[in-house]
Amino acid sequence: MSGPYQRQSLELRSPQENGSADDSAGSRLRHLSGTSASQRRRQQRVAQQRQDSWFRHSMPPAINRDFESLEHLTPRVSDGLDEQLAASVSQSVHSGGSVTLCGRPDQSSIHLNSANSNLGFIDSDTPNTPVTPTSGQQPAASVSTSVAGTLSSNRRSGNRKDSKGSILSRQSGRSRVSVLAQRGLQMTASFLRRKRAEYEDDEDFTSSAGYDPDDGERRVIHLNAPQSTKYCNNRITTAKYSVISFLPAFLFEQFRRYSNCFFLLIAILQQIPDVSPTGRYTTLVPLMFILSVSAIKEIIEDIKRHRADNEINHRLIERLDSGTWTTVRWAELTVGDIIKVTINSFFPADLIILSSSEPQAMCFIETANLDGETNLKIRQGVSATAGLLETKDLMRLEGRIECELPNRHLYEFNGVLKETGKQTVPLGNDQVLQRGAMLRNTAWIFGVVVYSGQETKLMKNSTSAPLKRSTVDKLTNTQILMLFMILISLCITSGLCNLFWTREHSVTDWYLGLVDFKSLSLGYNLLTFFILYNNLIPISLQVTLELVRFLQAIFINYDIEMYHEESNTPAMARTSNLNEELGMVKYIFSDKTGTLTQNVMEFKKCSIAGIAYAPENTPEQSQLVQNILSRHQTAGVIEEFLVLLSVCHTVIPERRDNGTIIYHAASPDERALVEGAHKFGYIFDTRTPEYVEINALGVRKRYEVLNVLEFTSSRKRMSLIVRTPEGKIKLFCKGADTVIYERLAPQGQAYREETLRHLEEFASDGLRTLCLAVTDIRADVYQEWRETYHRAATALQNRESKLEDAANLIEINLRLLGATAIEDRLQDGVPETIASLLDAGIYIWVLTGDKQETAINIGYSCRLISHSMDILILNEESLDATREVIHRHYGEFKSSTAKDANVALVIDGTTLKYALSCDLRNDFQDLCLLCRVVVCCRVSPMQKAEVVEMVTQSTKAVTLAIGDGANDVAMIQKANVGIGISGVEGLQAACASDYSIAQFRYLQRLLLVHGAWNYARISKLILYSFYKNVCLYVIELWFAVYSGWSGQILFERWTIGLYNVVFTAMPPFAMGLFEKFCTAETMLRYPMLYKTSQNAKLFNVKVFWVWIFNALLHSAFLFWIPLCAYTSDVIWHDGKTTDYLLLGNLVYTYVIVTVCLKAGLITNSWTWLTHLAIWGSIVLWFTFLLIYSHIWPTFKIASNFRGMDIQLLSTPIFYFGLMLVPITTLLVDVICKLVHNTVFKTLTEAVRETEIRRSDISEVMNEPRSSDSGYGYACGKLFNSNKTLIKPRRLCKKAKHLLPVTLEETNLRVVNLELETDTEEEQRSRQRQKWRAGMLSAVEDRYSTVRRASLPTQATLHM
């Protein structure tokens, strides 16, 4: 077959030949003996990785996983474990398997072809192929088995230890099955020997702290002795600046912006003598003002940080110094200090707990400051230090702690405690007390500092989130570069014109002195015009945007409609740079549990021994308890099931004064399972580090806890090894059905099919399911496995993978007990929110770790998936199968006439892994984008991030990711906008997000109201800022025609500098804060209004340059109309005559009035602050004119401005022009606006007008109108925005000429709506939005009464 896993043949040699091969391999490595141990190990690992790379890539993923489980196996696996695994081989023989091993005792070499197997080179799509002897003879025996991963040849006899021998078989003559299996698996012997040798070598130096001493990849902490290395103190600082670093750091931060660098360059050029036409300080002073405003803001914020830091650093703690306890500040602590922390106190640094006031060095902590979880967590010191209860005991402590270097992994810690003369003890996360956590319900603890100050895990995780820039910002920067290129062109053109004009007039106009070097120098002229035209780029734009966005974020924070009263959680904007991005979201990627659901679990049902049960009001009323009491044939299984529920967990019980028990759990699922057992009379009420106690229907039982194999996202299961009251050792395991079923023993599958059927029923009800299984472990097997587990637990290198491998060894031969079903209810308002977001044209993808059936049914419940949709499920186990099904479905969709398939695509994590590979990524992406809904199930956190990144990069659309847990952080940071929900799982997602909300339903208001408003506000602010600058400063270009291209300015120099920062600064602020085109209620009621901002209709390249052209036109009117009015000279009573400055101030006044009126013309929402900003700016200019005209000679500035107010205000022409010029200039704008609102009225404008008239907006939604481009909303004639219904009468009229039957006899199904005047791309986008809005489902719901059994007739309506 085709594909990466092609049929192969591998020759398997005899043990003797394998031994010689090993000897030759060993000789090739002996030449490394002259090198250091660390170098030899590194070279061996590199060589091995190269060999293993080919080996691994030759195998399919199933086998790859099997061999990975052997990478770190300890060689000290004894006979008991071998017997247990050999027994599983024997049992598999009788039940059948997936591997065919053939051979005869006298064979020395055989060939193995690819087969469906868990052992060997396999292609999962190839049928079983028997092994054929090399000589062509038929095998004497055939054995089928399905051992998951670890068998090899038996090369030793008796109990002799041999590092090159079998990992699993220690004795010869086990059974005929073992012999045949061992001989058949000779193919892996060489590979396993090499991996084993590597593991032994790894363990050699792992036992000495897990790192090569020469590598320095560890931290050694001496106890009660001076440290060999100087570590940092415990002082922390979260402030950005210090007194010394503020100025350079602040300036560096500010001048990373190109605009500030540009204006700094202009300010420097202005200092060159006789170059600047605007003076030396007209750019420098506004720049200094803007930088000063930013500096003041930074200083205020940083002072708050310094005060908080000082308060923390000056807290007091008791430290053990020379046998006495002294009180010191937190900042004085360092690594190796032994300290005492008392109840309700924060831990000052990352500590290793030595002992506590509770038995067995146990303590309770609260980690709300770290992850937001308020549930108490248990931490326990190791037994070796649990007895250090007095000062003298602590002083006798000698040895060292060896651990990993400081890192940011909150939930991981690898270390060992090496007391002098005692055995090495592993240290893990259960012994770590992290800075920021608080000691609860424990009088005191003794601990030793391992990480201090900036090296603590809390501070390592305090790094800022990745920098995100909005689409509007990126587009603005691009247009600024374009304007800069235009500025350069204008400078070059003006410089050349000056050169030509000077050469022409230098002789005739000799009195002008045009023969000097500077007048004839093109370089000087270019610098002059560069300074003159620099204000085409608004200097105040960045600071205006910063302040406006900051205030917009405050509006979000204080929106009472997004305040969750039950949890006292408001919405929070953690960044203000993306406010407008909220109005452009095209794709939403959502987690399910805790995001769409409440993450408040309730035990609903269970399946035990193939029988389904549900809890009743009391235990006695339930059929389950009745079966136990009546000793039903399944009573033993039921009891084991309930014991597992009440024992296998990490829940902490708290007994209240009234006798009730409150369960504190890190996971809501665990709490629900324990409460479920409680409902059936199995009450968990006592936990100590050594045992747990339960009340089983009135009988107290104690289970000794031997080992806890914790749940991880990769393992998808949790196991607990206990010693029962009868003295037996059992392993209780609960986890996902996929991982439990593959670990079942053949004789432990009695209820397999019944349980599977119940699992499907539970999932179809939208319930979360888990499978429960148990196995008995012999004492000798457990002791040998415990040694293996201990070696893995004490390893500092690859500890997690080694622990997982050790767990895989014991979590086998399970016996299925049953399954549980937990309900996770939808949050309030989720269906309505999703329906509204779909109406707004937003695509919603769900990325979850739940089962497919559960995710699909939740999709139905929240209206993401409609019953009219076809569901396409992709569950493939190989790359080739995934490729084939993606290509097939994609081809079907491409050949269909519909632009958007009415299909929900559901894919699991395994298939997604193949679909995201390089050669399938684009095809999978195209398939997903054709579907209305995409649901990814059983996905890992990294896969979530990959999916988000794929869509973000390929579509260039704005993506939003929303989640509530730590597993959602990766996708939140990959999306353009990240939303965190402050939920039950803590604040990890909220802390990593850009915006945080308490409930999913608040996302509707955040996007449709705040997002759309902020987009419109920021868009108008930016466009208006460029408009007003071009309006004024291009006039200098028009004036250059009359000034001989000399660079002479028309306006007084300080009025040029104050134009942006004073006279026209307030209207942009008013737009950015108070502008809105519709009320919040209207925006929520009609989500279609969101499409204006989503499709970037208000700010794009076309709109930007239309505004620039409009500003150029206005500047021409504002210059030439006053110029024509002042063609005749005027002599005032003081003898002065009209000069260029009078014309300049005349024009300047008209510009300010015009740009302020323009602001009013584009304003939709008028408040008293808007009036103040617009009319106040005009009044401010006239006030300045009156004052500035009389400050000379009191102040030695503006000598040429003295008396300007009298000249300007004493001529009737000024007042006539004050009425005529702004009106004439804006007349074109008014006419265009009138025509647009009459003929090309958009839906948004129509709704706003209806709001003003206080009419019924629903009537407007049905009227035909064109979009911003002239066409788009013509389909409003057929559809409502929020209901998307086809009017019955209109439907009948349009159907009469299309169908020969009446509406009662057929069902008209709208397959495609095409606007023939639109482009192909616009049609595709619009149809996808319409179909996602649920047209078809709404039609079917509305007119279900007139349906008939006949097939619906399909028609395409063209408008």
The DSSP result for 1179-1209, as a single string, is: HHHHHHHHHHTT-TTTSSS-GGGTTHHHHHH
Q: Tell me the three state secondary structure of residue 608.
A: strand
Q: Provide DSSP, 944-990.
A: HHHHHHHHHHHH--EEEEEESSGGGHHHHHHSSEEEEE-BTTBSHHH
Q: Tell me the three state secondary structure of residue 141.
A: strand
CA atoms of 564 and 391, how far apart (whole Å): 49
Q: Which residues of the chain have pLDDT under 70?
A: 1-216, 368-375, 461-467, 511, 513-520, 666, 713, 896-900, 983-987, 1129-1136, 1255-1359
The pLDDT value recorded for residue 1156 is 95
- The partner residues of 377 in beta bridges, in order of sequence, read 365
E strands, 312-360, are 316-321, 324-329, 338-342, 350-356
Do strands 1353-1358 and 1308-1314 pair parallel, antiparallel, or not at all (unpaired)? parallel
CA atoms of 1070 and 1169, how far apart (whole Å): 7
Do residues 1151 and 1035 lie in contact, with contact meaning Cβ atoms separated by under 8 Å?
Answer: yes
- The partner residues of 1223 in beta bridges, in order of sequence, read none
Do residues 786 and 823 lie in contact, with contact meaning Cβ atoms separated by under 8 Å?
Answer: no
Q: Please tell me the number of Cα atoms within 13 Å of 231 on its side-chain side.
A: 28
Do residues 73 and 196 lie in contact, with contact meaning Cβ atoms separated by under 8 Å?
Answer: yes
Determine how many CB atoms are found less than 10 A away from the CB of residue 990.
26
Q: How many whole angstroms from its chain centre is CA 1257?
A: 38
Question: Length of the chain, please?
Answer: 1359
Burial class (CB in 10 A: 0-12, 13-18, 19+), 78: middle
The pLDDT value recorded for residue 987 is 67
Q: Provide DSSP, 821-877.
A: EEEEEEPTTHHHHHHHHHHTT-EEEEE-SS-HHHHHHHHHHTTSS-TTSEEEEE--S
Nearest to 765 by CA among 637, 688, 683, 856: 856
Give the Cα-Cα-Cα angle 936, 941, 947 (nearest 5 degrees): 50
Q: Tens of pLDDT along 290-320?
A: 888 888 888 887 888 888 889 889 999 999 9
Query: Which residues carry out catalysis?
Result: 591
Task: Work out the end-to-end distance of the chain between its first and last CA atoms, rounded to an integer number of angstroms.
Answer: 51
Nearest to 118 by CA among 187, 66, 182: 66
Phi and psi of 1140, rounded to 5°? -65, -30
Q: Provide DSSP, 356-393.
A: ESSGGGEEEEEEHHHH-EEEEEEEE--TTTTT--SHHH
The pLDDT value recorded for residue 977 is 93
**pTM for the whole structure:** 0.66
CB neighbours of 565 closer than 8 A, spacing ≥ 6? none
CA atoms of 1052 and 1033, how far apart (whole Å): 13
The pLDDT value recorded for residue 375 is 66
CA atoms of 733 and 649, how far apart (whole Å): 10
The pLDDT value recorded for residue 964 is 83
Q: Please tell me the number of Cα atoms within 13 Å of 292 on its side-chain side.
A: 7
